Structure 1
């Protein structure tokens, strides 16, 4: 996430993030669990590795899931939003993983380019970055900080929202299922349409990754607009 994109995740937004994210993404915990499993399958069970967690702010679930699965993994959690990073680290601490996690307030571009990581994740971030250039930049910055062949998990929304009216309607029903009124649903969907810029297709996601220095990705999870992929640094 860039510093500009982080400004919308103020303390009030951070406080509601955990509940909202689990409603917006059906299968939130399953996606994070599978991401940890895909990384373990790629690196090898019982491996020793340092994982770069880009845009780590929020629930810290990628660290909690992966840290619980692999006791010899350590994590570098990077996010430019202090409230969101604090929230993530509170979850990480509650899970007993604080000693294995280094928190860095900033962007991936702020990290030293000569330290290379064994794997990386970017979950729930790409669709918050406006325009193709910003998306390309963060993926390129991550690729530069990974060892050759290192696995990378990317997850987030794709498809232009307005291009998929049935999925938008199902998304509205998802909020209604969790107690939102008709007015609240309209407000949430309006905010989504104005506040995010997802890649327009799965092919667009693959093109971004290939241009940034990654292999063709393999999708391992899908939920309405959301997709999760694994790839490797070329």
Structure 2
């Protein structure tokens, strides 16, 4: 789920990421249903036997979900964190014959062409220029008219810290420790190179995607589907 050279150091630490499979569903509203929605959206344009590129695939949660829902699909996942890729390998053991995992950034991914792509909970770690370059590299690897789904933190331009605090509170199991949630939201807003929703859609268009549409919004998280 991590990507490129702005990779936060904890993702490189096996001990720090050991609880990822338990932590992610707690922090991202409706994560299991989100994975189902992603699969459904890609299925609209992907052919039978599709080959899907999963950028930021460490952890393996979306790979496991999509491989379960679509037994006819193959997947190539790429992630720069070897610790996270180890988690992914464990998660996809039942589907190992259909999943290829690559250590590195999207530039290290095969040229394809792929029949669809995802980039979940990843782009908010990249500054604007790196984000655009990553989206262009994904676009370059996709068949014409195939789908891309992206999901990450993209709070409204106004009241950014408040929206990040709401996500932090949700990740803390919705407890009422708002002082702690506000402090966490402030830290996240400072450290993450966040882009507002309008800017995110502009980046997708600039990378060569069309039919950009919002399909998911939950506190500071947003998700879009687009066509190559």
Q: Give the TM-score range, shorter chain.
A: 0.7 to 0.9
Task: Specify the alignment match of 1:222 in structure 2.
Answer: 217
Q: 1:155 Cα deviation (Å)?
A: 0.8
Counterpart of 2:160 in structure 1 is 164
**Cα distance, 1:187 vs. partner?**
5.5
CA contact (8 A) 2:213 2:224 kept: yes
SS at match of 1:3: coil
Q: What residue in structure 2 maps to residue 3 of structure 1?
A: 5
Please, which runs of 5 or more residues in structure 2 have no aligned partner?
none
3-state SS of the aligned residue for 1:42?
coil
How big is each residue's C-alpha offset from its partner over 1:175-232, in whole Å with a ceiling of 9 and x where there is no partner? Answer: 44356966754564344233322212x2111110111111131122111111111111
Aligned twin of 2:105: 107
For residues 103-150 of structure 1, the C-alpha deviation after alignment (integer angstroms, 9 at most, x for no partner) is 11111112343x311111000001011x21011011011111111111
**Displacement of 1:81:** 0.4
What is aligned with 1:32?
35
1:8-48 Cα shifts (integer Å, max 9, x gaps) = 4122331232333222211111111110111112225xx11
Which residue in the other structure is 2:53 paired with? Answer: 52
Match of 1:117 in 2: 114
Change (3 A) 1:78 1:118: same
Determine the C-alpha separation between the residues in 2 that align with 1:112 and 1:179. Answer: 44
- Contact kept? 1:6, 1:80, Cα under 8 Å: no
> Does structure 1 retain, via aligned residues, the 8 Å contact 2:212–2:224?
yes
Q: Distance in 2 between matches of 1:213 and 1:150?
A: 12
Normalised TM-score (structure 2): 0.88
| 2:62 corresponds to | 62
Q: The residue matched to 1:199 in structure 2 has which SS?
A: coil
Matches within 5 A, 1:54-203: 54-58=55-59, 60-93=60-93, 96-113=94-111, 115-129=112-126, 131-159=127-155, 163-164=159-160, 166-177=162-173, 185=181, 188-200=184-196, 202-203=197-198
Q: Pick from 195, 200, 203 the counterpart of residue 208 of structure 1.
A: 203
Q: Structure 1 regions of 5+ residues with no counterpart?
A: none
- The size of the alignment, in residue pairs, is 225
